[in-house]
């Protein structure tokens, strides 16, 4: 398992859920991983687990919605490891509400973490990658951003925005040897706990997944490995759904 040997990877929102599984999978493939999360304790726990399994990881607390914190985070990782080769923009939150009930705070919070956060991190790592003519950016979108959803217009708009961000950055950075792709995942994480367990939503959501089950985060982490791997060197601007078929059109 050496597909990412000696590569330096940042995974945001890696304190739990999908990000934690991606950080572990990257470390297993030989990458040096920066476990970035708003939640310092969660990030430290994940980094400790990776080191316990023989991997190389550090925890870096950061709110990706705050540009100054992102610059400091990328600066810290660059001085520790010398560069950043891979960025996974995974950090996310949900603030559900129906359209007419949604507050400005709910809208701003979700758009700021997902869309502005992805942009902040992308812009912070891009100059170094352009200089070295190498980079792998993996953004995280959602079925909500591809098909729309009810009760999460903030999240759906931010995730659709990430599709545009991915395609534009892919076109702009291609000539620098940098690929930019996105994954639309589906997995059993704290974020999906309510829709997986609450009797009001459980069956309805499960019916939307042709495979009829939720994946564990470790089952979809290989899709993130693929986009960062040498085998994906000629793949850019693409959206890959690892969602049990939820977004089949
Ligand atoms: N789980 C799914 O089925 C699913 C489906 C579609 C898309 N996604 C997307 O996948 C990504 C990961 O989702 P998850 O299910 O693992 O979520 P999760 O809630 O389990 O984990 C999200 C992590 O992001 C961190 N985070 C939140 N705000 C942050 C910020 N401002 N700065 C840094 N870190 C922050 C949290 O502390 C947490 O550790 C998200 O972008 C989410 O929208 C998940």
Average pLDDT, the chain: 98
pLDDT value for 171: 98
Q: Is residue 2 part of a domain?
A: no
Domain residue limits at 76 = 8-187+217-242
Cβ of 63 closer than 6 Å to ligand 1, yes or no, is yes
For ligand 1, whether the C-beta of 65 sits within 6 Å is: yes
Assigned domain for 193 exists: no
Asked if the structure places residue 207 within a domain, the reply is: no
The answer, yes or no, to whether any atom of ligand 1 lies below 6 A from the CB of 218, is: no
In a domain, 200, yes or no: no
At residue 1, the pLDDT reads 83
Phi, psi of 62 (to 5 degrees): -165, 140
Element (H, E) at 17: helix 17-28
Residue 83 lies in a domain: yes
Per residue in 8-36, pLDDT (tens digit) is 999 999 999 999 999 999 999 999 999 99
- Residue 211 lies inside a defined structural domain of this protein: no
Residue 144 CA, closest ligand 1 atom number: 6
Tens-place pLDDT, residues 203-226? 999 999 999 999 999 999 999 999
- Closest ligand 1 atom number to CA of residue 89: 41
pLDDT tens for the chain, residues 1 to 249 = 899 999 999 999 999 999 999 999 999 999 999 999 999 999 999 999 999 999 999 999 999 999 999 999 999 999 999 999 999 999 999 999 999 999 999 999 999 999 999 999 999 999 999 999 999 999 999 999 999 999 999 999 999 999 999 999 999 999 999 999 999 999 999 999 999 999 999 999 999 999 999 999 999 999 999 999 999 999 999 999 999 999 999
DSSP 160-174: HHHHHHHHHHHHHHG
Structural domain count of the chain: 1
**pTM metric for this prediction:** 0.98
* pLDDT for the residue numbered 94: 98
For residue 248, what pLDDT is reported?
Answer: 97
- 88 located within any domain: yes
* Residue of 81, 155, 205, 234 with catalytic role: 155
Nearest 5°: CA angle at 24, between 9 and 188? 115
Does the C-beta of 17 come closer than 6 Å to ligand 1?
yes
Longest Cα–Cα distance of the chain, Å, equals 52
Find the CATH number of the domain harbouring 223: 3.40.50.720
What does the alpha-carbon distance between residue 70 and residue 47 come to, in Å, rounded to a whole number?
A: 19
């Amino acid at each position: 398992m050496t597909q990412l040997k000696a590569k330096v990877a940042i995974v945001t929102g890696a304190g739990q859920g999908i990000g934690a599984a991606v950080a572990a999978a990257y470390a297993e493939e030989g990458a040096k991983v920066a476990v970035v999360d708003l939640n310092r304790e969660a990030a430290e726990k994940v980094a400790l687990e990776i080191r316990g399994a023989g991997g190389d990881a550090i925890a870096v607390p950061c709110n990706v919605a705050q540009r100054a914190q992102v610059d400091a985070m990328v600066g810290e990782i660059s001085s520790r490891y010398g560069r950043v080769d891979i960025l996974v923009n995974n950090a996310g939150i949900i603030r559900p509400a129906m359209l007419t009930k949604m507050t400005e705070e709910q809208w701003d919070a979700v758009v700021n973490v997902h869309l502005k956060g992805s942009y902040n991190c992308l812009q912070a790592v891009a100059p170094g990658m352009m200089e070295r003519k190498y980079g792998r950016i993996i953004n995280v979108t959602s079925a909500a951003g591809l098909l729309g959803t009810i009760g999460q217009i903030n999240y759906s708009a931010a995730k659709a925005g990430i599709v545009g961000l991915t395609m534009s950055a892919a076109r702009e950075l291609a000539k620098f040897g940098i690929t930019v792709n996105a994954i639309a995942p589906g997995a059993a994480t704290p974020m999906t706990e309510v829709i997986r367990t609450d009797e009001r939503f459980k069956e309805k959501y499960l019916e939307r997944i042709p495979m009829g089950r939720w994946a564990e985060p470790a089952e979809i982490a290989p899709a993130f490995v693929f986009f960062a791997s040498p085998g994906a060197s000629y793949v850019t601007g693409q959206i890959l759904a690892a969602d049990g078929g939820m977004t089949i059109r």
